[in-house]
Structure 1
Amino acid sequence: MRLLTFITLFIVCQSTTEAARISGRVTDEKGQILVYASILIKGSTQGTTANKAGDYFLQLDAGTYTIVAQYVGYNRQEKTITVGTEDITLNFQLSLQQLSLKEVVVRPGAQDPAYEIIRNAIKKRPYYLNQLKTFQSEVYIKGQLQLRAYPKKFLGEKIEFEDGDTSKIKMLFLSETIARYSVENGKRSKIEVLSTRVSGRSDEFGLSTPQIVSFYENNIQVGRGLNPRGFISPIASSALNFYRYHYEGSFVEDGREINRIKVTPKRRYEPLFSGYINITEGDWRIHSLQLQLTKASQMEIIDSLKIEQLYVPYNNDVWVIKTQVLYPAVKLFGFDAYGSFVNVYSKFDINPTFERKFFNNTYLKIYEGSNKKPAAFWDSIRPLPLQLEEITDYRKKDSLEKAHKDPRYLDSIDRRRNKLHLFPLVATGQNFYREKKRETYSFYPLLQTVAYNTVEGWLVNLGGRYTKRLDTVPASRRALGIEPAVRYGFSNRHFNSAATVTYTHGRKYFSSFSISGGKWVNQINNNNPISQLSNTIRSWLFERNYAKFYEAWYGRFNFSKDVGNGLTFFGGMKYEDRIPLENTSNYSFGDRKDIAFTPNFPIEVMTENFQRHQALIGTIGVSWLPGTKYIEYPERIVNIGSRYPTFTFSYSKGIHNWLGSDIDYAKWRFDVSESIDLNLGGNFRYKAVIGGFMNRDSVAVIDYTHFNGNQILASVEYLNGFQLLPYYKYSNMNRLYAEGHIEHHFNGLLTNKIPAFRNLNLYLVMGANALYADSDKEYVEVFAGFENLLKIARFDFVWGFEKGRVAAFGVRLGIRGFGKL
């Protein structure tokens, strides 16, 4: 590694001795800085970009060059220089573009001339979209995010930063990346990270996705999560239905006339841009643009996003993007942040030759050592100079990172992080850290520790998790987890204890296996459709003991293994000595005389509790996601999904007579699920399941096919259950069953037309769930509701149908991130 660094520095030093440095500043006529102005060598796509202070530099060999400075909305300026061995200072002062208006005969009711220009651009849009479908380029990416204000406390906790700086203005994030971006036929792409760095985080990899926001697309995705429907381009095929246009005038560059068009949304609360787009006359291509998105564009998370782009000629027919800058800004919970993310594209090759199998399932590849390059390397390769605040941030945070590795600092961090806090103690669980030993101790929250049910009465459930990271790489997956738990019921006086040991690993693909055992209390439906908190509330307050329990001595082994190409194998073996339980408590807060607790077994399928028995069950399965894409880090590979459905098959066998097992059956299950992005139309999701018993010589109720029902206000997992179905009503051991779940998320479609809903940013969601077990066991439910309430909540109205008639009606509430309430 040291030898490689020495060779790199030697080459850099040699090259700089034969070239001169051209540097300067780009301002307007009033001396105001033109942020991220483009500097080009005329007649080529070579060049650089000024930084936020307007400063730039170039390294040029001896010769005569014409240097061009450009900035959207300003006249470009050209200067010819002769380069020798001496450095040259070359400043530019750009003037606002003086737009010339064409002679237009204005008649009453006549359209603005901008509309004819836009129509021509719309006609040419497919041509330019497909013109450059294969290319390769190098991209420099720099992203920074800064705070300009923040609250003293958040959720009752004091806001502190590890740098000890209490000023309101501070750099939150600073990163640089050099990547190679390759595209073939517009369908296959690959990003190779050649070098990257993050201020104060030497083991991380920064921003590595050089997304080109192509306004030649009809529907544009800017980042992730800003708007699930995407945004409509000002030159989309349907753009005239969404935008108003105004002709501002034209200017001339290199003999080309370029039209400046003001773009305005026709309606608020639509996914639309506003700003300016410059279109060349005659060939109707995008020259440059300055467009903006706001909250009125149905953006989520951030308040505003400004996009600037500049295209330059590669040859007489092909233009390529030179610079793209995104400026986000957000105000949330008292935090006020803004940033800039600049991409500088260079070294374009529009006829690249790719090696065989160059394009594979790896979408992003980060090379070994890419984040270990010295500062001298970055100074030699960076296309735009750092600002003083960026230099200071690198120096300060890199020094802090070294200090933070001191054992005394790690101890102080542990002391600060390990203070007890009320909310984690009650609701989420308290964590304690030992950073030097790379250990974490987690403990159940109070809401999970104390509970009530009719079998155990009031109970105490104490447990937690110990995690030990076994690799030195922070993001690695080699770790050991131990989860012990003890449980005591004050009514039945049963003491239970169990533990699980999990080992995760996989330098390339993820793998895990776990061993567990002990004596514990389980739900008869092992999918645990009713949370402990929900059951406590329903039983104690409303005398509804929906959950049905049994006790078991058990031992279990599970494994999961990713093998690539979207394939994951999983399976396990379980032994249980199953002990029936009966109600021992009828206490409730309300003590309602009109309601009685039901027995502790599913009365829908049983008339009495099961007999104690033993069960040995083996399971094996496979999950396949075709077309899976991966991010390949030096030490691991991460699955980032696919646009195809996920297929999963599993087979379970109850093994008779082994270890005294009393059961004897075989059952199978096949399911397919997918999330389909319909852009402006929203998002459609579905899951279809089919399965059944192949043989059923001896089947215990615990091993029936159970469906995830729901009889409480909190919603069950949407594509994995039924919102109104009684928990055990349709449990069966049939040879064949089927279930299906569909839902459509409108993501602002329709509700953006209704003032009350669009102001609250509520989204409509609709769908249905259905199951079939036999002619007597058919059930359908339909629902409609609203999501995105306070960003986290969803509220549904649900109707359940049996034999074509409405059998139930209810409302359900889901809260994102809280799982089963």
Structure 2
Amino acid sequence: MNRICLVLLLSLAQILASHAQQFKLSGHIKDPNGEAVSFASVYLKNTTRGTSANIDGHYSLNLEKGSYTVVYKAIGYKSIEKEFKIDTNITQNVILNPESYTLRNVTISASAEDPAYQIIRNAIKNRKHHLTEVKEFSCSVYIKGLQKLMAAPKRFFGRDIQKTLELDTNRRGILYQSESQSNYHYKRTNHIREEMIASKVAGRNNAFSFNKASDLEINFYNNFLLENVLSSRGFVSPIADMALFYYRYKLLGTSVENGESVHKIEVIPRRQHDPVFRGIIYIADDSWRIMGTELYLTKNTGINLIDTLNITQQFMKVEQHYMPSNINFTFNGNVMGFKFEGYYLGVYNNYNLQPNFPRNYFSGEILKVTKMVNKKDSAYWNTNRPIPLTREERLNYFKKDSIEKRKESKYYLDSLERTNNNFTASKFLFTGYTINNRYDQQYLRLDPILRGLFYNTVEGFGLRYGVTYTKRFEYNRYYSIRPELRYGLANHTLTGNLTANYLYDPLKKAGIEFSAGSGIYDLNRYKTMSTLSNSLNGLLFEKNFSKFYQKNFLEASTSRELATGLQAHVSVEYAKNKTLVNHTHFTFFNWKGREFTSNNPFTPDSETPLFPDYKALTLDATLTYTIAQKYISRPDGKFYTPSVYPQIQLNYRKGIKNVFGSTADYDLLSFEVYQDRIGTGLWGYFSFVAGAGKFLNNKTVYYPDSKHFRGNNSLTALPDLRRFSFLDFYEYNTDKHYIEAHLEHNFAGLITNKIPLIRKLKLEEVLGANYLTQPLKKNYKEFYFGLQRLIFRATYGFAYDGNKRVMQGFRISYGF
């Protein structure tokens, strides 16, 4: 009896195994000329299961035993169907013939409007319907990314590019190669949840791919696309409400696909430098929906970093709707002699348009990556990879993964460190000297000498120098210890401090920090200007803008995320604060009618104490909340994405009296609302910050503890939305109450892009205003306008004290 049962069990197991066994249908897809049809769609008829060919036209589809109808489809080609009985591996090469688009029954005269315009008007009329017709869906997504260098200079900043980037002898090679598989869920409006189930990055066995399906979302039913992605403003869709103002159209022909007429329309910019697309869009008759796109952007449109971006979309019918089957972004560019190209491809499968998401299914987590995502071996990928690797990609995986394994060995890392840790004078002076022990994840960095040199009238010529030791652990946990010394030749004062911090929970952004010692600090807690700028102003222009005081201190702080988007920070500091005076008036050039001012900003002609030496015990607590914060969670941290809603901050700072001799006695409560880069379509983006505060108790408020503002007395300044252009650095602090606001709009080339020659500079117009009211400075206003490019900006502004204009002039800022 037992034998009979055993035989039955074995027979059943064999039957189940035969049914579960998968076979491979593969081959090449080419056109009649033998050229590969890249990224063609291959899917099972009447299903949403399928794949895509790779860039060489090679496809592979895993199927269980059975009979199937397979559809081969590519934009611009006639789709074909083939019947297969699958019971073994099958190789099937396919030739796709170009689609025949005819203009029969259409008469176009020189004076008549092209029929494409009426088709586009119908598409625009139905745009909102198609944008919102699918309320929710789930699907699986495979994303593949590749970036490679096609040419590069031999050396860059003294480094051998071939060795540094591991290129071939022609300085060509793949820089980045990754793939991922995810389950993707969507619900209108803008509710996203994605769970990555597999990830692979060439040469980085412990890395996680940053690929996510939402990055590939591009919906031409929206009026504007790619806002704040490739440019500071969006690009107009060919079927946007205002599209006829930006585009001309030409009907290239009509074909019939599955009984439905599809129009092939060329999209032509009316003006070469408008933020618009070029290429082909396919629109179905009667339903007026998009059936495919072959559109691209060029550098004439104002895109940054790349020269051309091609966007190809293919759709499949799912129930009564059409959903993306694959989306492909192909790009190229040339930056400082580095010529590059690449693509990102998304393949969508297994659609469910009625997922019936449970309540509270969506949260701020838009992508979840677990610890096991990057642990899938080659056998898994060989079975589950929907798009075959090209020969170049297979070799790159083999090469990079082999090198990575070798790099993980102690012998290799020790030999590498012996070379990289070689001490040179240039490192010591200019870039800093680092001693790495990557095997044990320990790093010691010595600051560059030149960066620590400074000059001011309090300390004279001086040096600020530090060393940082860092120990890293798995999943981005680390601690660091930094001792720092500072010495001034004029005041003969040596100060030093030690700072230690520990990030113990990256997922909660939780860490602690401890510091103790002494130092020389700016009287304005927001710092007036960079050390380099102040040094140059003193030595070259006989202006000592920055004023200083000395602090001996002991401080402990902790920060932690309390909930999604809600971050808490608490610190306690005990300090002995001391006023300082100038010890030198040295300058390279003595300017007529100009001399250095004292270190007291309120008595520029005489050295008087700004405040008595005092002790202060201070508690500082801050809550920062970003409304509807979205994030990516990975084992090595929680990564916030830019929010479309404001950030709110509440701060409470208290001077605690009669503890350890502290004489400070105050309570300051402040509130701030901030949002950056609010997209306004073709008009660029808008940013604002508004804040208010009040001292609930101001019995004893010394100058360093009062409320300061980010002023500017200099021609140059560091960029900061909260910075005033003409407000004095120090004079208008307060120990009572205040309201401040800063508004700025960046027009992102709306005007300069229309001026020949000037448009090549890709300048962006800015317009802004600042406001402050407090007991000593009521209704102070600033207005400015100017131009910026990347990290540089030049503006001209006016300052008004009430209704009286008190100052005007240029301001230059840079983001080094």
Normalising by structure 1, report the TM-score.
0.93
SS of the residue aligned with 1:95?
coil
Q: Give the fraction of aligned pairs with identical amino acids, expressed as a percent.
A: 33
Distance in 1, matches of 2:418 and 2:248, equals 59
Distance in 1, matches of 2:495 and 2:506, equals 37
Distance in 2, matches of 1:448 and 1:390, equals 43
**Are 1:37 and 2:36 an aligned pair?**
no
Residue 59 and residue 715 in structure 1: after superposition, are their counterparts in 2 closer, same or farther (change >3 A)? same
Tell me the amino acid that sits aligned with residue 798 of structure 1: G
SS of the residue aligned with 1:659?
coil
> Per-residue deviation at 1:414?
2.5
Distance in 2, matches of 1:768 and 1:589, equals 37
Which has the higher mean CA deviation after the structures are superposed, 160-169 or 387-396?
A: 160-169
1:558-597 equivalent positions in 2, closer than 5 A: 558-597=557-596
1:47 is matched with: 50
After superposition, give the CA deviation of every residue in 1:8-57 in whole Å (9 maximum; x if it has no partner).
xx999947864442222111111111111111222333222111221112
Distance in 1, matches of 2:159 and 2:808, equals 42
> Per-residue deviation at 1:453?
1.4
Distance in 2, matches of 1:176 and 1:620, equals 43
Distance in 2, matches of 1:248 and 1:442, equals 63
1:219 is matched with: 224
For residue 448 of structure 1, the aligned residue among 444, 451, 455 is 451
> Per-residue deviation at 1:446?
3.4
> Per-residue deviation at 1:545?
1.6
For residue 392 of structure 2, the aligned residue among 389, 393, 397 is 389
Distance in 2, matches of 1:809 and 1:432, equals 50
Contact 2:409 2:439 in 1 (8 A): no
Contact 1:134 1:186 in 2 (8 A): no
2:331 is matched with: 328
Distance in 1, matches of 2:280 and 2:719, equals 45
SS of the residue aligned with 1:436?
coil
After superposition, give the CA deviation of every residue in 1:310-347 in whole Å (9 maximum; x if it has no partner).
112113x2111111111111111111111121111110
Residue 521 and residue 100 in structure 1: after superposition, are their counterparts in 2 closer, same or farther (change >3 A)? same
Tell me the amino acid that sits aligned with residue 205 of structure 1: F
1:401-480 equivalent positions in 2, closer than 5 A: 401-419=404-422, 429-469=432-472, 471-473=473-475, 476=476, 478-480=477-479
Distance in 1, matches of 2:732 and 2:239, equals 54
Which has the higher mean CA deviation after the structures are superposed, 689-698 or 55-64?
A: 55-64
Contact 1:176 1:207 in 2 (8 A): no
Contact 2:165 2:175 in 1 (8 A): no
Distance in 2, matches of 1:638 and 1:80, equals 47
Contact 2:666 2:698 in 1 (8 A): yes
1:365-764 equivalent positions in 2, closer than 5 A: 365-419=368-422, 429-469=432-472, 471-473=473-475, 476=476, 478-603=477-602, 608-609=608-609, 610-675=611-676, 676-734=678-736, 736-764=737-765
Distance in 2, matches of 1:23 and 1:335, equals 36
For residue 344 of structure 1, the aligned residue among 329, 343, 347 is 347
Residue 798 and residue 446 in structure 1: after superposition, are their counterparts in 2 closer, same or farther (change >3 A)? farther
SS of the residue aligned with 1:371?
helix
Distance in 2, matches of 1:463 and 1:520, equals 13
Distance in 2, matches of 1:133 and 1:559, equals 43
Residue 12 and residue 322 in structure 1: after superposition, are their counterparts in 2 closer, same or farther (change >3 A)? farther
1:5 is matched with: none
Distance in 1, matches of 2:786 and 2:749, equals 13
Distance in 2, matches of 1:149 and 1:776, equals 58
Identify unmatched segments of 5+ residues in structure 2. 1-12
After superposition, give the CA deviation of every residue in 1:607-648 in whole Å (9 maximum; x if it has no partner).
931222222211112111121112111343222242211111
> Per-residue deviation at 1:71?
1.5
Distance in 2, matches of 1:323 and 1:246, equals 26
Identify unmatched segments of 5+ residues in structure 1. 1-9
Contact 2:732 2:776 in 1 (8 A): no
SS of the residue aligned with 2:468?
strand
Residue 56 and residue 201 in structure 1: after superposition, are their counterparts in 2 closer, same or farther (change >3 A)? same
> Per-residue deviation at 1:604?
6.3
**Are 1:276 and 2:277 an aligned pair?**
no
> Per-residue deviation at 1:131?
0.9
> Per-residue deviation at 1:714?
2.2
SS of the residue aligned with 1:437?
coil
Distance in 1, matches of 2:728 and 2:350, equals 64
Distance in 1, matches of 2:50 and 2:466, equals 61
Residue 177 and residue 501 in structure 1: after superposition, are their counterparts in 2 closer, same or farther (change >3 A)? same
Residue 268 and residue 16 in structure 1: after superposition, are their counterparts in 2 closer, same or farther (change >3 A)? farther
1:229 is matched with: 233
SS of the residue aligned with 2:373?
coil
> Per-residue deviation at 1:425?
5.3
> Per-residue deviation at 1:750?
2.1
After superposition, give the CA deviation of every residue in 1:105-134 in whole Å (9 maximum; x if it has no partner).
445521000111111111111111111120
Equivalent residues, number? 798
> Per-residue deviation at 1:91?
1.6
Contact 1:618 1:652 in 2 (8 A): yes
SS of the residue aligned with 1:508?
helix
Contact 1:604 1:728 in 2 (8 A): no
Contact 2:19 2:65 in 1 (8 A): no
Residue 108 and residue 55 in structure 1: after superposition, are their counterparts in 2 closer, same or farther (change >3 A)? closer
Residue 619 and residue 64 in structure 1: after superposition, are their counterparts in 2 closer, same or farther (change >3 A)? closer
Which has the higher mean CA deviation after the structures are superposed, 618-627 or 52-61?
A: 52-61
Distance in 1, matches of 2:14 and 2:442, equals 44
Contact 1:98 1:251 in 2 (8 A): yes
Residue 55 and residue 164 in structure 1: after superposition, are their counterparts in 2 closer, same or farther (change >3 A)? closer
SS of the residue aligned with 1:22?
strand
Contact 1:245 1:264 in 2 (8 A): yes
**Are 1:285 and 2:285 an aligned pair?**
no
> Per-residue deviation at 1:814?
2.2
Contact 1:672 1:687 in 2 (8 A): yes
Residue 776 and residue 116 in structure 1: after superposition, are their counterparts in 2 closer, same or farther (change >3 A)? closer
SS of the residue aligned with 1:408?
helix
> Per-residue deviation at 1:766?
0.9
SS of the residue aligned with 1:554?
strand
Residue 96 and residue 586 in structure 1: after superposition, are their counterparts in 2 closer, same or farther (change >3 A)? same
Distance in 1, matches of 2:147 and 2:571, equals 46
Distance in 2, matches of 1:346 and 1:598, equals 71
1:767-806 equivalent positions in 2, closer than 5 A: 767-774=768-775, 776-788=777-789, 791-806=790-805
Residue 153 and residue 421 in structure 1: after superposition, are their counterparts in 2 closer, same or farther (change >3 A)? farther
Contact 1:265 1:272 in 2 (8 A): yes
Over aligned residue pairs, what C-alpha RMSD do you find? 2.3
Distance in 1, matches of 2:270 and 2:428, equals 51
> Per-residue deviation at 1:729?
2.2
2:317 is matched with: 313
Distance in 2, matches of 1:13 and 1:390, equals 35
**Are 1:264 and 2:258 an aligned pair?**
no
2:3 is matched with: none
Distance in 2, matches of 1:593 and 1:323, equals 71
For residue 183 of structure 1, the aligned residue among 173, 181, 186 is 186
Distance in 2, matches of 1:776 and 1:25, equals 75
After superposition, give the CA deviation of every residue in 1:488-518 in whole Å (9 maximum; x if it has no partner).
2211211211111111221521112211111
Residue 717 and residue 19 in structure 1: after superposition, are their counterparts in 2 closer, same or farther (change >3 A)? closer
Distance in 2, matches of 1:795 and 1:387, equals 49
Residue 564 and residue 446 in structure 1: after superposition, are their counterparts in 2 closer, same or farther (change >3 A)? same
Contact 1:451 1:460 in 2 (8 A): yes
Which has the higher mean CA deviation after the structures are superposed, 331-340 or 429-438?
A: 429-438
Tell me the amino acid that sits aligned with residue 553 of structure 1: N
> Per-residue deviation at 1:396?
1.5
Distance in 2, matches of 1:373 and 1:773, equals 61
